[in-house]
Amino acid sequence: MSLSAIKILEKDFELSGEEMRDMIKDFHLEMDKGLSERFSSLKMIPTYADKPTGKEKGKYIALDLGGTNFRIVSLTLKGRGISSGHHVMKFKLRNKDITSTGKKLFGFLARSVKKFIEENRISPLQHIDLGFTFSFPVRQTGIDSGTLVTWTKGFGASGVEGRDVVALLKKSFEEEGIGNISVRALTNDTVGTLVARSYSDRDCDVGVIIGTGTNACYVEALHKIKKLGGGCRNSGTMIINIEWGNFNKLKATRYDEQLDKESDNPRAQMLEKMVSGMYLGEVCRLIIKGLISKKILFEGAAPAGFNKKMLLKGEFVSQVLADRTSDLADTKVLLRRLGVKDPSFEDLKVVRRACELISTRAARISAAAIVAVVTKIDPHVIRKHTIAIDGSVYEKLPGFSEKIKEVIGELSGRSSGKIKITLTKDGSGYGAAIIAAISTGKIGASDEE
pLDDT given at position 426:
84
Alpha carbon separation from 262 to 258, 265, 267 (Å, rounded): 6, 8, 10
Confidence of residue 153 (pLDDT cuts 50, 70, 90): confident
Residue with more model confidence, 228 or 27: 27
pLDDT given at position 442:
66
Among 105-114, 158-167, 233-242, where is mean pLDDT lowest? Answer: 233-242
Q: How far apart are the first and last CA of the chain?
A: 69
pLDDT given at position 66:
87
Q: Which residue type sits at 197?
A: R
pLDDT given at position 83:
84
pLDDT given at position 448:
39
- Cα(63)–Cα(444) distance, integer angstroms: 25
Average pLDDT of the residues in 249-254: 96
pLDDT given at position 418:
97
pLDDT given at position 305:
85
Q: Over the stretch 392-432, which tens digit does the pLDDT of each residue have?
A: 999 999 999 999 999 999 999 999 999 999 999 888 889 99
Return the H-helix or E-strand segment holding 315.
helix 314-321
Confidence of residue 445 (pLDDT cuts 50, 70, 90): very low
Q: Over the stretch 93-104, which tens digit does the pLDDT of each residue have?
A: 999 999 999 999
Return the H-helix or E-strand segment holding 59.
strand 57-65
Q: Over the stretch 260-276, which tens digit does the pLDDT of each residue have?
A: 999 988 999 999 999 99
Q: Over the stretch 216-248, which tens digit does the pLDDT of each residue have?
A: 999 999 999 999 875 556 679 999 999 999 999
Q: Does the pLDDT value for residue 28 go beyond 60?
A: yes
- Cα(76)–Cα(83) distance, integer angstroms: 6
Number of Cβ atoms within 10 Å of the Cβ of 22? 14
Query: For residue 132, what are the β-bridge partners?
Result: 63, 186
Average pLDDT of the residues in 146-158: 90
Alpha carbon separation from 419 to 24, 26, 217, 218, 351 (Å, rounded): 16, 21, 16, 14, 34
User: Please, is 439 exposed, middle or buried when counting C-beta atoms within 10 Å of its C-beta (0-12, 13-18, 19+)?
Assistant: buried
Share the mean pLDDT of the chain.
93
Kindly report the pTM of this predicted structure: 0.93
pLDDT given at position 429:
87
Alpha carbon separation from 35 to 21, 41, 323 (Å, rounded): 21, 11, 44
% pLDDT > 70, the chain: 97
Active site residue 327: no
Q: Does the pLDDT value for residue 72 go beyond 80?
A: yes
Closest CA to 178 of 120, 93, 138: 120
pLDDT given at position 125:
77
* Cα angle, residue 207 at apex, residues 203 and 209 outer, rounded to 5°: 150
Average pLDDT of the residues in 205-224: 95
Average pLDDT of the residues in 54-69: 91
Q: Over the stretch 12-25, which tens digit does the pLDDT of each residue have?
A: 999 999 999 999 99
Of 33, 59, 103, 153, the active-site residue reads 153
Of 64, 144, 189, 390, the active-site residue reads 189
Q: Does the pLDDT value for residue 443 go beyond 70?
A: no
Q: Over the stretch 357-391, which tens digit does the pLDDT of each residue have?
A: 999 999 999 999 999 999 999 999 999 999 999 99
pLDDT given at position 84:
80
Q: Where would I find the beta strands (DSSP E) of 258-330?
A: none
Residue 163: DSSP 8-state: S
pLDDT given at position 449:
35
What is the SS3 assignment for 256?
helix
% pLDDT > 90, the chain: 82
pLDDT given at position 230:
56
User: What's the chain's Rg over C-alpha atoms?
Assistant: 23
Residue 417 φ then ψ, to 5°: -65, -15
Residue 322: DSSP 8-state: T
Average pLDDT of the residues in 71-92: 89
Q: Does the pLDDT value for residue 183 go beyond 60?
A: yes
Buried residues in 148-157 as b, exposed as e (16+ CB within 10 A):
beebbeebeb
Average pLDDT of the residues in 187-193: 95
